[in-house]
Amino acid sequence: MGFKSKLKSAIRALVLLTKEEVVKPIIVAKDKECLLDGKIALITGGSSGIGLAIAKAFAESGAKVIIAGTNKNKLIDAERKISVGGGIAKHIKLDVKDINLLPEKLKEAIALYDENRIDILVNSAGIVAKNEFENISEAEYDNIMDTNAKGTFFVSQAVSKLMIEKNIKGHILNVSSSSALRPAWTPYQMSKWAVRGFTLGLADTLIPYGIIVNAIAPGPTATPMLEREKSDTLYEPFTPSRRYSTPEEIASLAVFMVSGAGDMVVGDTFYITGGSGTITMHH
């Protein structure tokens, strides 16, 4: 090693010594049911489909959950389903498109539990296009983009502000889609491209505060959005795995992503698609 190299190494060692911080080892729970013990989780779009499955899985893993959605009856039913299963859940009526109401609604949400905080946010509210490209109206376009992209942006903004104010080292998990990998000709696909990029940017913005941002991206999943339930046949001939995913499979990955076990995954999107969109662009 030459003199210059030795000098650089010495300077680097000196800088590291002056900046050294106490870094505690990550504690990984051995019992999967305790991964989210003591956490408060807000799940938008949590009254059905993937959002409800995530809410159930979080509650089973020890979290207290806040289910947010627009349909009061569905919210009440979702809360009941989780409570019957032994979990702790409450609900709040929240439309992610009502941007001006978000600060007030979030204050209402955190007041549901004595902890008065949110440790985990899951942006699961989303809608799909009903028409083919040539028949999509401006109203349909705006509704999809405002829900999937704009809603995700502003809910994340509002919740991250609360986390920073309360010095919470939290998690934000966006529900993206395998559509984020495909050519985008629908507002739904475009919105998921936006979510993929936003996940990267938000992770970069919030990691200095200890807030970890990632996304999960399901492929075809047996949910009401695709007019399919897990009790139906899961056969899907057009995906490499030849079947639909179940909401519970998506939820199991979500638990890992927002737990301490996943803390070193930052700004990433985990695809759980059966190969749809990842090894094939079709369907």
What confidence tens digit (pLDDT) does each residue in 254-273 have? 999 999 999 999 999 999 87
Find the Cα–Cα–Cα–Cα dihedral 49, 109, 171, 128, rounded to 10°.
30
Domain assignment present for 11: no
Which domain covers residue 173, as residue numbers? 34-272
Domain assignment present for 201: yes
Which residue positions in the chain have pLDDT lower than 50? 26-29
Domain assignment present for 10: no
The pLDDT of residue 219 is 84
Domain assignment present for 132: yes
Q: Are 74 and 271 in contact (CB under 8 A)?
A: no
Q: What is the DSSP letter of 245?
A: B
Domain assignment present for 27: no
The pLDDT of residue 27 is 46
Domain count, the chain: 1
Backbone angles phi, psi at 26, to 5 degrees: -75, 130
Length of the chain: 283
Catalytic site includes residue 188: yes
CATH of the domain at 143: 3.40.50.720
Domain assignment present for 282: no
Catalytic-role residue among 188, 209, 235, 271: 188
The pLDDT of residue 275 is 76
pTM: 0.86
Angle (CA) 202 189 139, round 5° = 100
Domain assignment present for 22: no
The pLDDT of residue 84 is 92
